[in-house]
């Protein structure tokens, strides 16, 4: 799910009735994956109860929080740059407090306070419920740190405050943490062990979103297919659960079905699927319910069996191909996207060619592609030398991106001349005369606004395309409104 959105997002103004007197202002910025953006909505909800309204205006803020990402070195450098800006603001406003949340907080812990002198507060992803106490600490003039990873925290009982929302699409977290230990990845260290959230609280959140007019939810987790609710606690402790808990446990296929049935008119998406954990049950459930979108984000990282093994991705290239074939036979028009890493340690030209040939086989609809960035503390950093020179990483990455662009175009061209159902999300970035929305396959569609409205499902005849966008004209409302 870690769709890197390298831009900041700020909160909207709240009006929470049962909160303390709202006298202070919170300015919150999020970096990195969708989970961080979703977590910021939980943080805003927790702080609303402490009397904080969110503001989009840094100048108005009493408290600045930065929800940070550690996935690649560049993501951390972006945050450090942003902290420089807050430092400058703090010079003229010494009462302003600055806090760091998320994965960098967890990775660097109290070292952050030494390295970035302006930081007052450091809070890891499992400690947001402690924010009221920590804020009190800093109000009393002390620095405050809580980076304790939890075995059961899922924030299932916190109703997120939707920040910067289009009122149409929303994220709903279903798991936290990850047990997969891919050797390049810092997430298991920063977000801890995998826990699933109570299915009933997920359904309640989805129902609440529907009642507020939302039309699409994305169920979020680092590895959604590994979702398993059996009464709480770590996934790894399932073996120790009672017979009763085992018999009534809910896996991801079941959860998907529950959500699809709870709101049959709502679009359901999910992210991310790890190939080794995705089951046929999930694909069959997707096929069975029309409101579950035909789109799977299925990161593979490399097409070389040797590199997959070094990465501790627990499947082979051949098993991945089989999964793709199964998806396509059960859901013929399913879109599939990838994450890819170029230049993992020891990657040879031969390994890279395997990646290109795997891509040629799948012809992904789109992808998120990165040069390998060594992360301190990961198994790869401890055991393997970061031995692929930067120029080679970059050249291979360019080849991967160019190939993907061609495949993206191949996929979008398949829609030209056809009618697709689009959920309108808002005005197109490029033209205020056009709506922007997505089809079931998650491809962006733009078309003239005419008399259609945000939040409506519309049938759009596709007339043209680029490698990532479909361009068309609405012909009618869809029956799904």
| Continuous H helices in 263-296 | 280-288
Rounded CA gap, 289 and 372, in Å? 38
Q: Which of 32, 188, 367, 437 binds ligand F3S (CB under 6 A)?
A: 188
Rounded CA gap, 161 and 481, in Å? 26
State in angstroms the smallest separation of the CB of 173 from ligand SAH.
11
Rounded CA gap, 414 and 406, in Å? 13
Binding piece for ligand SAH, criterion CB under 6 A, among 44-52, 90-98, 134-142, 370-378: 370-378
Q: Which does 188 bind (CB under 5 to 8 A by kind): ligand F3S, ligand SAH, none?
A: ligand F3S
**Site map (CB under 6 A) of ligand SAH, residues 145-184, x = contact:** ---------------------------------------x
CB burial readout 420-448, b (16+ within 10 A) else e: bbbbbbebbeeeeeebbbbbbbbbbbbbe
State in angstroms the smallest separation of the CB of 314 from ligand SAH.
13
Q: Which does 1 bind (CB under 5 to 8 A by kind): ligand SAH, ligand F3S, none?
A: ligand SAH
Residue 146 and residue 120 in contact, taking contact as beta carbons nearer than 8 Å:
no
State in angstroms the smallest separation of the CB of 222 from ligand SAH.
4
State in angstroms the smallest separation of the CB of 71 from ligand SAH.
5
Rounded CA gap, 40 and 63, in Å? 14
Within 313-342, the residues that bind ligand SAH by CB under 6 A are 339, 341
Check residue 71 for interaction with ligand SAH (CB under 6 A): yes
Rounded CA gap, 5 and 9, in Å? 10
Within 213-252, the residues that bind ligand SAH by CB under 6 A are 222-223
Nearer to ligand SAH among residue 112 and residue 372 (C-beta): 372
Residue 374 and residue 344 in contact, taking contact as beta carbons nearer than 8 Å:
no
Check residue 396 for interaction with ligand SAH (CB under 6 A): no
Check residue 182 for interaction with ligand F3S (CB under 6 A): yes
Binding piece for ligand SAH, criterion CB under 6 A, among 18-26, 368-376, 400-408, 468-476: 368-376
Single out the residue of 406, 426, 404, 419 nearest to residue 470, CA to CA: 419
Count of other CB atoms within 10 angstroms of residue 113: 18
Within 207-246, the residues that bind ligand F3S by CB under 6 A are 222-223
Binding piece for ligand F3S, criterion CB under 6 A, among 83-91, 178-186, 381-389, 450-458: 178-186
Token couple for 433: 């005369």
Q: Which of 274, 404, 412, 439 binds ligand F3S (CB under 6 A)?
A: 274
Name the burial class of residue 106, with classes exposed (0-12), middle (13-18) and buried (19+) by CB atoms within 10 angstroms of its CB: buried
State in angstroms the smallest separation of the CB of 105 from ligand F3S.
17
Query: In terms of C-beta distances under 8 Å and separation of at least 24 residues, what long-range contacts does 73-78 make, across chains too?
Result: 73/373, 73/374, 73/375, 74/373, 75/4, 75/6, 75/31, 75/32, 76/104, 78/6, 78/31
In what helix (H) or strand (E) does residue 421 lie, and over which residues does it extend? strand 419-427
CB burial readout 1-40, b (16+ within 10 A) else e: bbbbeeeebbbeebebeebeebebbbbbbbbbbbbbbbbb
Nearer to ligand F3S among residue 170 and residue 340 (C-beta): 340
Rounded CA gap, 196 and 155, in Å? 11
Q: Which does 244 bind (CB under 5 to 8 A by kind): ligand SAH, ligand F3S, none?
A: none
Q: Which does 71 bind (CB under 5 to 8 A by kind): ligand F3S, ligand SAH, none?
A: ligand SAH
Q: Which of 112, 372, 435, 447 binds ligand SAH (CB under 6 A)?
A: 372
**Site map (CB under 6 A) of ligand SAH, residues 266-295, x = contact:** ------x-x---------------------
Check residue 299 for interaction with ligand SAH (CB under 6 A): yes
Residue 209 and residue 202 in contact, taking contact as beta carbons nearer than 8 Å:
no
Residue 188 and residue 178 in contact, taking contact as beta carbons nearer than 8 Å:
yes
Nearer to ligand SAH among residue 218 and residue 440 (C-beta): 218
Check residue 373 for interaction with ligand F3S (CB under 6 A): no
Q: Which does 375 bind (CB under 5 to 8 A by kind): ligand SAH, ligand F3S, none?
A: ligand SAH
Peptide bond into 262 cis (omega under 30): no
Rounded CA gap, 479 and 476, in Å? 9
Nearer to ligand SAH among residue 134 and residue 336 (C-beta): 336
Nearer to ligand F3S among residue 145 and residue 187 (C-beta): 187
Q: Where are the beta strands (DSSP E) in 62-192?
A: 63-68, 97-101, 121-123, 144-146, 169-173, 175-176
Please identify the residue of the shown chain whose CB is closest to the bound ligand SAH: 2
Residues that bind ligand F3S (CB under 6 A): 178, 180-182, 185, 187-188, 222-223, 274
Residues that bind ligand SAH (CB under 6 A): 1-2, 71-72, 184-185, 187, 222-223, 272, 274, 299, 301, 339, 341, 370, 372-373, 375
């Amino acid at each position: 799910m870690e769709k890197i959105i390298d831009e900041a997002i700020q909160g909207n103004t709240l009006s929470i009735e049962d909160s303390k007197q709202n006298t202070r202002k919170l300015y919150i910025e999020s970096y990195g994956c969708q989970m961080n953006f979703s977590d910021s909505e939980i943080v805003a909800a927790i702080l609303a109860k402490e009397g904080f309204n969110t503001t989009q205006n840094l100048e108005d803020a009493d408290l600045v929080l930065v929800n940070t990402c550690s996935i690649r070195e560049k993501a951390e450098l972006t945050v450090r740059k942003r902290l420089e800006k807050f430092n400058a603001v703090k010079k003229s406003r010494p009462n302003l407090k600055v806090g760091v949340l998320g994965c960098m907080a967890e990775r660097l812990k109290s070292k952050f306070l030494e390295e970035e002198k302006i930081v007052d507060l450091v809070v890891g992803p499992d400690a947001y419920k402690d924010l009221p106490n920590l804020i009190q600490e800093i109000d009393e003039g002390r620095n405050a740190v809580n980076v304790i990873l939890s075995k059961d925290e899922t924030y299932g009982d916190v109703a997120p405050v939707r920040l910067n929302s289009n009122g149409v699409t929303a994220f709903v977290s279903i798991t936290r943490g990850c047990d997969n230990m891919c050797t390049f990845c810092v997430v298991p260290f920063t977000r801890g062990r995998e826990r699933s959230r109570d299915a009933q609280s997920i359904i309640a959140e989805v129902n609440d979103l529907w009642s507020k007019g939302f039309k699409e939810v994305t169920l979020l987790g680092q590895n959604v297919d590994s979702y398993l609710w059996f009464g709480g606690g770590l996934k790894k402790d399932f073996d120790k659960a009672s017979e009763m808990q085992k018999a009534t446990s809910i896996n991801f296929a079941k959860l998907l079905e529950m959500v699809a049935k709870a709101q049959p008119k709502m679009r359901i998406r999910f992210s991310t699927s790890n190939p080794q954990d995705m089951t046929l049950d999930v694909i069959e459930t997707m096929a069975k319910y029309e409101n579950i979108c035909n789109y799977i984000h299925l990161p593979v990282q490399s097409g070389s069996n040797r590199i997959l093994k070094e990465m501790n991705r627990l499947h082979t290239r051949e098993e991945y191909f089989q999964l793709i074939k199964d998806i396509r036979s059960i859901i013929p028009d399913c879109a599939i996207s990838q994450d890819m890493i170029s230049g993992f340690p020891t990657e040879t030209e031969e390994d890279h060619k395997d990646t290109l040939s795997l891509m040629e086989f799948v012809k992904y609809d789109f992808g998120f592609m990165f040069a390998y960035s060594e992360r301190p503390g990961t198994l790869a950093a401890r055991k393997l030398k970061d031995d692929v020179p930067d120029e080679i990483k970059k050249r291979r990455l360019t080849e991967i991106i160019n190939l993907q662009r061609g495949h993206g175009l191949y996929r979008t061209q398949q829609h030209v001349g056809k009618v697709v159902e689009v959920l309108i999300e808002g005005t197109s970035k490029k033209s205020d005369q056009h709506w922007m929305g997505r089809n079931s396959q998650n491809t962006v569609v733009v078309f003239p606004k005419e008399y259609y409205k945000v939040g409506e499902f519309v049938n759009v005849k596709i007339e043209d395309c680029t490698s990532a966008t479909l361009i068309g004209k609405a012909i009618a409302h869809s029956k799904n409104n």
